[in-house]
Amino acid sequence: MINLKNDKDLVKNIKKGKKVDESLCELVNRNSGIFIKMVNKYSNKHQRLDLIGDKEYYIYKAALKYDESKNVKFSTHLGVESKWLCINNYNLNKKRNEIDLSAVDNFIESDNLKESIQSKDCIEKILEFTDSHPDKRVSKIFELRYSDGHNNKLKPWSEICNEVGLSVQGSILVHDEAISSIKRKLKKEI
């Protein structure tokens, strides 16, 4: 009767390879609440579903790392492991977010398209955001400025404003507001 064993015995079974499926299932049933509580407390809503969806795997990994000699209950060990899993996951995603936003900044601030285009994915992602922007002038401004480049240079604002029907300053303001909007969307996605 596997359900009569304590957590330490279940972990021993998992480590020794005895009745692993039954032992893990019982361990997950007993400790899912702790894992979910820690994930809800230490992760954002974007990470939460992925982490909870893989809770059996993370509880299994915690069981393998559990050291009985430290005189700590398995549930406490799982709580600490879950907390660090969330924190490390958050920091990893934060670094990805910084990298993506720096690519947007490099793309926007460069005068030479060859220097600014690190990957076509960045351009396509930016143009995708501008196509869905509620202000239809944004899409036209970005297309003129970045897609219609001539000799790998950005199209000058003086030419863009004539085609869009705005002043130079008006075109730049619409452009800069769209950049802020793109950055906000990228932060939410990542």
The whole-number mean pLDDT for each consecutive block of 10 residues of the chain, a chain of 190 residues, reads 78 89 90 92 83 90 92 92 89 61 56 47 70 83 71 76 87 86 70
Q: Name the phi and psi angles at 112, rounded to 5.
A: -105, 115
107 in any annotated domain: no
105 in any annotated domain: no
Same domain assignment for residues 82 and 138: no
158 in any annotated domain: yes
Q: Which domain holds residue 35?
A: 2-94
Same domain assignment for residues 135 and 51: no
Q: Look at the alpha carbons of 56, 60, 66, 68 in this order and tell me if their dihedral is positive or negative.
A: positive
Quote the pLDDT of residue 116: 46
Quote the pLDDT of residue 83: 93
CATH number of the domain that residue 183 is part of: 1.10.10
| Per-residue buried b or exposed e for 107-139, using 16+ beta carbons within 10 Å of the residue's own CB | bbeeeebeebbeeeebbebbeebbeebeeebbb
Same domain assignment for residues 121 and 71: no
Same domain assignment for residues 72 and 13: yes
104 in any annotated domain: no
The CA R_g of the chain, rounded to the nearest whole Å, is: 26
Q: How far is CA 106 from the centre of its chain?
A: 20
Same domain assignment for residues 6 and 79: yes
Indicate the residue type of 183: K
Same domain assignment for residues 90 and 123: no
Same domain assignment for residues 66 and 134: no
Same domain assignment for residues 67 and 9: yes
CATH number of the domain that residue 57 is part of: 1.10.1740
Question: In which region does residue 154 sit, left (phi positive, over 0), alpha (psi from -120 to 50) or beta (all else)?
Answer: beta
Angle at 101 between CA 100 and CA 104, to 5 degrees: 95
Quote the pLDDT of residue 19: 87
